[in-house]
Amino acid sequence: MNRTRQALRVALLLVAGFSILLLAKYAEAHAILKESSPVANSSVPGPDVPLKLKFNVRIDAARSKVQIANPDKSTIDMTLEKQSSPDTLTSIAKGLKPGAYKIVWQVLAPDGHITRGEVPFKVTGS
């Protein structure tokens, strides 16, 4: 009886450990923005502003999108450059006038989940 209980405890610990590892791996697969350029709430000179979004995981660029939200709330779809790294998206916003903007992004991560976010920034005169 004692051996049976001990074997059951070992089995339960193994299952619990495997579950924790599996959940940690699953949580890691969601795309989380690690770095941006422009940095959130920063001011940058215009009129042309390079954009860079770096995530914690590989991003499917073909199924992701980046837009610029203008001060008047209209949006511009950005053309993404060829990925220099599988976790990074880059583009360039051209002709931005002084004002408050947002990078609006939506990316697809390896776990199949779509993540969205915004990065507000201001453009100053050139």
Share of the chain above pLDDT 90, in %: 71
Q: Is the dihedral of CA 53, 54, 57, 58 positive or negative?
A: positive
Q: Is residue 18 predicted with pLDDT exceeding 90?
A: no
Structure confidence by residue, pLDDT tens digits, 65-96: 999 999 999 999 999 999 999 999 999 999 99
Q: How confident is the model at residue 51 (pLDDT cuts 50, 70, 90)?
A: very high
- What pLDDT score was predicted for residue 72? 96
More confident residue, 11 or 101: 101
- Beta strand 75-77 with 114-124: parallel, antiparallel or unpaired? unpaired
27-51: average pLDDT: 92
Q: What is the pLDDT of residue 98?
A: 97
From the options 3.40.50.880, 3.10.20.310, 2.60.40.1220, 3.30.70.260, give the CATH code of 31-124: 2.60.40.1220
Q: Model's pTM, two decimal places?
A: 0.76
Quote the mean pLDDT of the chain: 87
DSSP string, 75-111: EEEPPPPPPSSTTEEEEEE-SPPSEEEEEEEEEE-TT
Q: Where are the domains of the chain?
A: 1-30, 31-124
- Name the more confident of 112 and 119: 119
Average pLDDT score over residue span 27-39: 87
